[in-house]
């Protein structure tokens, strides 16, 4: 799913799935529907690396440490 056109501004992201099988879960519990202002905020809040979140958002990996993110404007 391509990044929404945000004119260079950070795009909000939302958690759409958690609890997937993973050897190293996030640093804190993450809830479905939790929203973050940007990938950087998600990284700081969850301890999941920015690169891993980006790879998951670009469908290069199925989840980021057991969590699935999506851009907020693509989630109904």
**21-66 per-position pLDDT tens digit:** 888 888 889 999 999 999 999 999 999 999 999 999 999 999 999 9
The predicted structure's pLDDT at residue 7: 56
Chain Cα centroid distance, residue 24: 16
Nearest alpha carbon to residue 70 among 16, 10, 9: 16
pLDDT (average), residues 11-15: 92
pLDDT above 90: residue 6: no
Residue 65: DSSP 8-state? T
pLDDT on residue 22: 84
The domains of the chain are located at: 13-74
């Amino acid at each position: 799913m391509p990044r929404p056109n945000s004119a260079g501004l950070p795009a909000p992201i939302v958690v759409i799935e958690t609890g997937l099988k993973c050897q190293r879960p996030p640093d804190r519990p993450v809830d479905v529907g939790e929203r973050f202002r940007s990938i950087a905020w998600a990284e700081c809040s969850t301890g999941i690396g920015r690169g891993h979140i980006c790879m998951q958002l670009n469908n290069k990996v199925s989840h980021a440490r057991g969590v699935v993110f999506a851009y907020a404007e693509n989630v109904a």
